[in-house]
Amino acid sequence: MARLWTLGIVLLVCILERSNAGEPCSDLKYCIHPSQCPETQQIIYRSIDTVFCNDFQVCCKIEEKEDEDKKPSKDYSQCGVSNSEGLGFLLQTSEEARPGEFPWTVAFFNKGQYFAAGSLLAPGIVLSAYHIMNEVNLEDLRIRAGDWDLNSTRETFKPQERSVARIESHEDFRIRTGSSDLALYFLETPFELADHIRTICLPESDTSFEGKECLMSGWGKKNFTDENFSTVLKVADLPLVNFTDCQSRLRTTQLGNTFHLPESLLCAGGEENEDACTGDGGSSLFCPMTEDPSRYVQVGIVNWGNGCGKKGIPGVYTDVLYFRDWIRQKMTSVPEVSPPTRSKSPQLMGNYRK
């Protein structure tokens, strides 16, 4: 009988304290049956000094739920941000990039078949080489962002694909030499930026990357003699090579002693089995920023080479810094569209990496 009187007093106090079955006892806790306490909230067993609950109740913390509409959206405006640890845990070899590691890298498809790559400068603008459009019609071209393994959906993120509305190529492009080999691809609708889809930075006018260790990522062949392209995004560590040194090295190849490297090109690589290769055409060559090594700036576009991964023979890239002003001007203007080149790529300069 005494127990019932005690229970009645406790219940009455709980009512007076606004703590009856789910009503807050204080600003931080409320009494509720244990089975109704959400698993995400920490159970606080009743303390008679602070909270009044009956024998069948416990206290739960009150969690202030953030209003979804008031949640700030993630800012993807900063360029050159990589996902150094990858997005999601997937096994890869040392020559493969982590999933989502280089979120500016995009894949080019011709009638559903991968053939080249590029980089995202803005949600609706892709930078790549122009020679890759040899024998490719604009209406057959699709660009995919945010992919890693082109032949599976095992990633934790979803890629996006877009059609291309127009192409702006450089007016001085020469297919025989690879000079001025670059173009901007304007998408019909922009990509939606996300953790796995971001933009790459352009270099500043006073920046020097000579001697820097840089990277190249693409889905080209791993070896020159391979029959197929890589299905998983590759990464290669490539040191930049001095212009004069590069020209001298290239003169030791079938190009001959009189070869002159166009000033709009630069070189990287020269280490055995570490190179861009066929199918990497248009891919970006990028280096860590001096002021922030966790971010990257694009310095080159995969152009051509003599085989792949030959010791002492670097690969040749379009110099992005050389064309920085042209790129920026074209990104903000609406010039006339030039038709893609249809002629065959000659072999005099080596092999275009398409």
Q: Which of 43, 200, 221, 89 is nearest to 33 (CA)?
A: 43
CA quadruple 181, 159, 276, 236: dihedral positive or negative? positive
Instruction: Give the start-to-end residue ranges of the domains of the chain.
Output: 2-61, 105-352
pTM over 0.85: no
Three-state SS annotation for 257-272: CCCCCCCCEEEEECEC
Q: Given this model, what pLDDT does residue 54 score?
A: 64
330 Cβ partners below 8 Å, 6+ apart? 168, 184
**Does domain 105-352 correspond to CATH entry 2.40.10.10?**
yes
Distance CA 315, CA 311 (A): 11
Distance CA 299, CA 304 (A): 15
Q: What is the pLDDT along the chain (354 residues), one digit of tens a residue?
A: 444 444 444 334 333 343 344 444 444 555 666 656 655 455 554 444 445 666 666 776 655 555 545 556 688 889 999 999 899 867 677 789 999 999 999 999 999 999 999 999 999 999 999 999 999 999 999 999 999 999 988 888 999 999 999 999 999 999 889 999 999 999 999 999 999 999 999 998 777 787 789 999 999 999 988 999 999 999 999 999 999 999 999 999 999 999 999 999 999 999 999 999 999 999 999 999 988 988 999 999 999 999 899 999 999 999 999 999 999 999 987 655 444 444 444 444 557 776
124 Cβ partners below 8 Å, 6+ apart? 186, 187, 189, 190, 191
**How many other C-beta atoms are found inside a 10 Å radius of the C-beta of residue 255?**
16
